[in-house]
Amino acid sequence: MAGFGDLLGSLLQNNLSGSGAQRLSQGLGQLSTTPGEGGGGGLSALLDGARGVLGQAADNPLQAGGLGAALGSVLGGGGDAVRGALTGGALAMLAGVAYKALTNASAEGQGAAPVPVPPAALPEPVRADAARDDKARLLVRAMINAAKSDGQIGVDEMQRIVDQAAASGLEAQVRQWLADELVRPLDLDAFAAEIPDRETAAEVYAASLLAIEVDTPEERAYLDGLAARTGLTPEVTAQLQRALGVAG
């Protein structure tokens, strides 16, 4: 059965901002070329997981069409194997971008002390299905909330997203959750209260960046509010924006 991990993959494939696909490809490119880093076995496992997902998509995905080539075969099909790759792959890639931003800021003496990669960020089989689904649901909500930040999502856009979810074979309860979430009023305080730690906050911020162009005062104010409420320093958010090609 297709759940929230599949929904996250569907949004990454079909509902990024206009430049989001290119920017995610840039972030993935940094992961795919990162040499062995000093972050320990956790970071190595995370990066290996992200690279493994990339390797399933194409022989040289990042040079053969950006995000579409990198994620097309992983996020575009059906079946349990593809769904598992979709869920673990999308989470691993966002976690890798977030963790790299945190460690870069720390290495420059700008952020908080380094922390190990949390178990919730690691790819299969480390995470339990339920915990992984919870993380995916939080990241989906992050993308939807960011899209709402400069005005409510239009009715036509809502219908397109719901139709894509149905075409992807998502469970009825997931489709209903998505429809409800799209019309729910934006409440940043309540959303921020659901984010358990700094590592998850960085993943949420990264997913939010991919959902919007970050080209309006309202979007930037939303991102600033999200960072302030979740304890992300300006140095960490600058690292995330740099990794995903967002102009400061």
Query: Would you say 97 and 49 are in contact if contact means Cβ atoms under 8 Å apart?
Result: no
Residue 112 domain flag:
yes
Residue 248 domain flag:
no
User: Which residues pair with residue 170 across a beta bridge?
Assistant: 2
Q: What are phi and psi of 2, to 5 degrees?
A: -85, 130
What local confidence, expressed as pLDDT, does residue 87 receive? Answer: 52
Query: At which residue do the structure tokens 């409510």 appear?
Result: 152
Question: How far is Cα 3 from Cα 91, in angstroms, rounded to an integer?
Answer: 13
Residue 77 domain flag:
yes
Residue 185 domain flag:
yes
pTM of the predicted structure, to 2 decimals? 0.76
What one-letter code names the amino acid at 203? E
Residue 56 domain flag:
yes
Residue 19 domain flag:
yes
What local confidence, expressed as pLDDT, does residue 56 receive? Answer: 45
Whether the bond into 61 is cis, omega within 30 of 0:
no
Query: Would you say 77 and 85 are in contact if contact means Cβ atoms under 8 Å apart?
Result: no
Which helix (H) or strand (E) element contains residue 22? helix 20-33
Q: Report pLDDT digits (tens) over 13-38.
A: 666 666 666 676 666 666 555 544 44
Residue 61 domain flag:
yes
Any idea what the Cα angle at residue 140 is, between residues 28 and 71, rounded to 5°?
35
Q: Within 13 Å and on the Cβ side, how many CA atoms surround 115?
A: 15
DSSP character at residue 149 = T
Query: Would you say 207 and 139 are in contact if contact means Cβ atoms under 8 Å apart?
Result: yes
Question: How far is Cα 13 from Cα 164, in angstroms, rounded to an integer?
Answer: 10
DSSP character at residue 117 = P
Query: The domain containing residue 120 runs over which residues?
Result: 4-243
Residue 30 domain flag:
yes
Question: How far is Cα 232 from Cα 112, in angstroms, rounded to an integer?
Answer: 9
The token pair that represents 215 in the structure block: 């080209």
Sites in the chain below the pLDDT cut of 70: 1-2, 13-22, 24-89, 109-128, 248
The token pair that represents 157 in the structure block: 């856009």
Please give the tally of structural domains in the chain.
Answer: 1
